[in-house]
Amino acid sequence: MSVVAYCYVDPLLDDPLPEDFWGAEVVQVYTDQGALTGERPQLQQLLQDCDRGKITQVRVRQFWELGDSVEAIATLLTNLSTEGVTLQAVGADGAETLALPSTQADWMALTSQIEAEHRRRRLQIGHARNRVKVLPPPGRAPYGYRRGKERYALDRATAPVVKDFFERFLLFGSVRGAVRYLGKTYGKRIAVSTGQRWLTHPVYRGDLLFQDGAVIRDTHTPILSRDEAAQIDRLLRRNRRLPHRTASASRSLAGLVQCQECQSNLKVAPVSRPRQKQKYLYLRPIACGRKAATHPEGKAQKSCKAISYDAVLDQTITAVCRDLPEAIAHLNPAMPAQVKTQLQSQVTQKQTALEQIPVLLTEGILDQATADLRSYNLRSELATLEQQLSQLPPANLPQLAQNLSQPEFWQDLSEAERRVYLREFIRQVQLVRDGADWTVQIQFVF
């Protein structure tokens, strides 16, 4: 005579239970794989063992797991009661005990709960089966797409709007600016959070994102290329390091320069003379610490003076040309190469396993449901590995440093292009003052 447990799971929905879920007194767990077989052979075996008098108590998580309908569950409860077997429901977390109803009203409430849970599970299983077949998730298609028969298709009216939004962000690096641009140019008004979500959402890169967090690559026509997506990811990471409101500033040094003496960030300030159109650019401290402090003799100190923007820019470019190749030379090239080799090896293994699934299906080793689930998991793992590969430093970093160390390269760039390169490699430009003189020190991101 023993205590056993019964569990009905759907591999498409449920995670495996921990080994100690049922308690030490449970000697056997009967488990049916619902989504793959659609049958309950282990439940039938449980009933046969109850007929032989081998079982005194059956534990389940919830009562709805005992059958596919209220009638089937009622019949099973009657059979267990006839055999003298007690039934105990321990709850979804195994920490509570749910007793069978004792009154007619309680039975009606339990019946309603079971029917509602069955409806919810059927809906979830339907969505899960579509997911493993890599069909688009339920709901409206994202802006820029329309729902096709088995995949998203480009919407010719709205896809150019999304494409222009991405190009605007790539040009100026500002989410708010790109959002305002859509409103002025196309009359399409979206929230800044929506624009941020567009920039990172896999659907615009030709991938599908499902509710379980899995990403399947190359499922439909992308609006954003892989190279553009990688550049957007770099821009977003870079903008997170910059002070507020400087991500979209037109000047390349905005948000990068800090005064070493007063520890204040410097802002770009345009200055013009009366009755003259020509403007001059200066870098001024936002909140100079010297102005708030007092001299030991009791005299107020003057704030740090403004410095010509063009002069600081010229010295910054000179310092980059001088120091960047040396900084990259001190990096250990073996570490990124080793990580890349490991990731590529894992990608090859996953791709090989994915190519073997049709063969196993033809030979009858796998059924269609199992093959679909395995393909879905492998494609999700491949997407994760390929995303990690795309985030590694470029292999031609030394060659790129040689190009960036040429002053002529910087002179041919526009201010917007120069801003992209400077923010890509520079974490901060320290302005070191020595009386009226000053120099710059570069802190690179690596």
Give the count of beta carbons closer than 10 Å to the beta carbon of residue 36: 17
Q: What is the pTM of this model?
A: 0.75
Residues of the chain with CATH 3.40.50.1390: 2-132
Residue 161's nearest CA partner among 176, 177, 173, 144 is 144
Q: Is the pLDDT score of 409 beyond 90?
A: no
In this structure, the strands spanning 257-259 and 266-272 are unpaired
Residue carrying the six token digits 């292999």: 395
pLDDT for residue 248: 66
* 135-240 CATH fold: Hect, E3 ligase catalytic domain fold (3.90.1750)
In this structure, the strands spanning 257-259 and 426-434 are parallel
List pLDDT tens digits, range 205-254. Answer: 999 998 888 899 999 999 999 889 988 888 888 877 776 667 667 788 88
List pLDDT tens digits, range 379-394. Answer: 999 998 988 888 776 6
CB 216 within 8 A of CB 134: yes
E strand residue ranges, 164-278:
208-209, 215-216, 257-259, 266-272
What's the length of the chain?
Answer: 446
List pLDDT tens digits, range 304-341. Answer: 888 898 899 999 999 988 888 888 777 766 566 788 88
Residues of the chain with CATH 3.90.1750.20: 135-240
List pLDDT tens digits, range 111-162. Answer: 898 899 889 988 888 888 888 888 998 889 999 999 988 899 999 999 999 9
List pLDDT tens digits, range 6-55. Answer: 999 888 888 888 878 888 888 899 988 875 556 788 998 988 888 888 88
Give the count of beta carbons closer than 10 Å to the beta carbon of residue 73: 19
Looking at domain 2-132, its CATH superfamily turns out to be: Resolvase, N-terminal catalytic domain (3.40.50.1390)
